């Protein structure tokens, strides 16, 4: 049995700097994000201490050769606090499903803006604190992000040197990485801050980075596509997404603004094993600062089997329309699906490494489309809906994928396209704005709990055969 390694002092909330201390002027029930995260530290540390002292040797399953060869599917081997993905019922965020969050998280209207969808700020608060924020708390977090959203001049200069035809995701990850010049965590670490306090500067960096991602993205958008205002003005009266949408030139599109609120909120976290989340956690476990960890995560998100799939889905759907017309019959869709499968390609937007049912994120985006009159006549949205009925039987008959149902990417990019945001190389950048609200809170938990550097054991095939002969 492992001994309890967390010192008692660490179980108490650490002495906190200015922004982490109780606010004297705010309403007593309204916490700042720093106070709210600080409040859960003792409880989380106690949970970890109990798991270590009482259960460290308890088995959670067996590791077999299939796990080693098969991308470690289903192996329960990392801690992730924000969300859990069930193969049948899908994602829950601190126990709340997407429909639950749609009911309880403060929406744009709740903080006095136009729009019905939950705010990504509300989801960020939930992921960081395990609590539903009040409307005032969500609004305060929104203002905090606005105040931190301006890019330093040096970063704008770096972004402006990127060639226009460098993929926007490459630009995005490079720019995020370069922001580490201002990392508060790196500065605190080099000044010898105590391990029990690492989480505080990690939280500061995380809030700073989340605040700046829209401005980085819109600068790249302006440089690559010549669209948007290019100045990344932040209006203190707008929320994170209305500001971002305005920066890229869609400030008058109420539908797109509300779609992006929903999109960014529900793409944020999908437990820890997916490539981008896992990368942030892995790189962060070396005590690299949040900018380095999240820059690395973005490179994983840029892969076609992960975040780039939304760009792939749109490309595939437009090719289908080009080949057989804007409103193809079911038979034409089926033939096109088979031609893709027979050529050895995957059908983008379908299948999942964990899920075995339609992705609830897809269901939420589908529901959004159903509720918006302006999307009713979009041929690409119609195609998304038809495909979600026609593709599963084809994929089942094909017999390879374990999950023949749509994942979130089956709809996400196509809706952006319908709203006129048709630069599909930019779509994964939008996903990247979102994934930070899941991956960075976990980095705060990692440091709050003092999790160790990640170092699984690898094995060669020769060594495997030697082991199997024993
Ligand atoms: N079309 C055709 N074949 C598919 C398929 C699809 N949509 N999904 C899986 N398969 C194939 C796999 O390529 C694999 O074939 P091989 O045995 O020849 O390698 C076989 O079915 C078994 O795969 P699986 O165990 O069902 O799925 P994996 O866990 O290996 O992969 C995923 C999951 C998402 C990468 C895969 O389903 C896929 O490539 N889908 C299309 C790309 C996509 O939509 N990605 C976005 C995922 C969403 C997210 O990141 O959250």
Pairing of strands 96-97, 83-86: unpaired
Dist. CA 155–CA 161, nearest whole Å: 10
Tell the residue nearest (CA) to atom 23 of ligand 1: 401
Long-range CB contact pairs, 322-328, < 8 A, 24+? 326/379, 327/379, 327/382, 328/383
Sorted by where each begins, the domain ranges of the chain are 145-306+436-448, 309-418
- Is the pTM higher than 0.95? The answer reads no
Residue 28: Cβ within 10 Å count? 7
Ligand 1 pocket: which of 269, 303, 313, 346 to mutate (most atoms within 8 A of CB) = 346
CATH of domain 145-306+436-448: 1.10.580.10
H runs (alpha helix) in 325-378: 330-342, 360-371
Q: Ligand 1: which atom is nearest the Cα of residue 410?
A: 44
SS3 of residue 401 by DSSP:
coil
Residue with structure tokens 């971002």?
A: 244
**Structure-token pair, residue 103:** 């009911």
Measured from the CA of 306, which atom of ligand 1 is nearest? Answer: 50
Protein residues with CB under 6 Å of any ligand 1 atom: 270, 274, 305-306, 309, 341, 346-353, 400-403, 407, 409
Q: Which of 113, 352, 359, 446 is catalytic?
A: 352
Pick one of 3.30.470.20, 1.10.4030.10, 1.10.230.10, 3.40.50.300 as the CATH number of 309-418: 1.10.230.10
Complete edge-to-edge strand list for the sheet that includes strand 96-97: 83-86, 90-93, 96-97
Two tokens, residue 224: 């690559």
Radius of gyration of the chain (CA): 23
Sign of the four-CA dihedral 48, 50, 55, 61: negative
Ligand 1, atom 3, residue with closest C-alpha: 346
Task: Specify whether 352 is catalytic.
Answer: yes
pLDDT in tens, the chain (470 residues): 333 333 344 433 344 455 554 443 445 467 899 999 999 999 999 999 999 999 999 999 999 999 999 999 999 999 999 999 999 999 999 999 999 999 999 999 999 999 999 999 999 999 999 999 999 999 999 999 999 999 999 999 999 999 999 999 999 999 999 999 999 999 999 999 999 999 999 999 999 999 999 999 999 999 999 999 888 899 999 999 999 999 999 999 999 999 999 999 999 999 999 999 999 999 999 999 999 999 999 999 999 888 888 888 999 999 999 999 999 999 999 999 999 999 999 999 999 999 999 999 999 999 999 999 999 999 999 999 999 999 999 999 999 999 999 999 999 999 999 999 999 899 999 999 999 999 999 999 999 999 999 999 999 999 999 999 98
């Amino acid at each position: 049995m492992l001994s309890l390694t967390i010192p008692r002092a660490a179980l108490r909330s650490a002495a906190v700097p200015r922004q982490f201390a109780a606010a004297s002027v705010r309403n007593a029930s309204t916490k700042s994000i720093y106070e709210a995260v600080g409040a859960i530290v003792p409880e989380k540390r106690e949970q970890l201490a109990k798991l270590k002292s009482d259960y460290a040797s308890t088995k959670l399953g067996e590791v077999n050769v299939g796990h080693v060869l098969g991308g470690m599917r289903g192996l329960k081997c990392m801690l992730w606090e924000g969300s859990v993905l069930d193969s049948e019922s899908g994602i829950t965020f601190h126990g709340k499903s997407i429909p639950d969050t749609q009911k309880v998280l403060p929406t744009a209207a709740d903080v006095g803006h136009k729009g019905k969808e939950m705010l990504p700020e509300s989801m960020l608060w939930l992921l960081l604190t395990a609590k539903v924020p009040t409307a005032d708390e969500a609004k305060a977090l929104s203002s905090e992000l606005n105040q931190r959203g301006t890019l330093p001049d040096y970063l704008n200069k770096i972004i402006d040197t990127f060639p226009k035809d460098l993929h926007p995701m490459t630009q995005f990850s490079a720019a995020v990485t370069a922001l580490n010049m201002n990392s508060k965590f790196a500065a605190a670490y080099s000044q010898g801050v105590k391990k029990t306090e690492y989480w505080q500067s990690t939280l500061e960096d995380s809030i700073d980075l989340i605040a700046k991602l829209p401005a980085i993205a819109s600068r790249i958008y302006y440089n690559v596509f010549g669209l948007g205002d290019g100045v990344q003005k932040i209006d203190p009266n707008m929320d994170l997404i209305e500001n971002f949408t305005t920066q890229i030139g869609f400030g008058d599109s109420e539908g797109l603004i509300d779609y992006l609120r929903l999109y960014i909120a529900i793409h944020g976290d999908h437990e820890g094993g997916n490539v981008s989340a896992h990368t942030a956690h892995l790189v962060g476990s070396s005590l690299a600062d949040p900018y380095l960890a999240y820059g690395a995560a973005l490179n994983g998100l840029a892969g076609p089997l992960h975040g780039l799939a939304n760009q792939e889905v749109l490309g595939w759907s437009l090719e289908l329309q080009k080949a057989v017309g804007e409103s193809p019959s079911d038979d034409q869709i089926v033939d096109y699906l088979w031609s893709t499968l027979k050529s050895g390609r995957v059908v983008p937007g379908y299948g999942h490494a964990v899920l075995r049912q339609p992705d609830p994120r897809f269901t939420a985006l589908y529901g959004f489309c159903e509720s918006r009159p302006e999307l009713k006549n979009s041929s690409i949205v119609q195609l998304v809906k038809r495909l979600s009925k026609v593709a599963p039987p084809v994929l089942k008959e094909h017999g390879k994928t374990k999950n023949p149902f749509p994942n979130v990417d089956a709809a996400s990019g196509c809706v952006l396209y319908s709203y006129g945001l048709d630069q599909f190389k930019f779509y994964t950048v939008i996903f990247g704005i979102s994934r930070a609200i899941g991956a960075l809170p976990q980095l705060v938990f990692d440091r709050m709990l003092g999790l160790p550097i990640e170092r699984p054991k690898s094995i060669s095939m020769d060594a495997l055969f030697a082991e199997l002969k024993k």
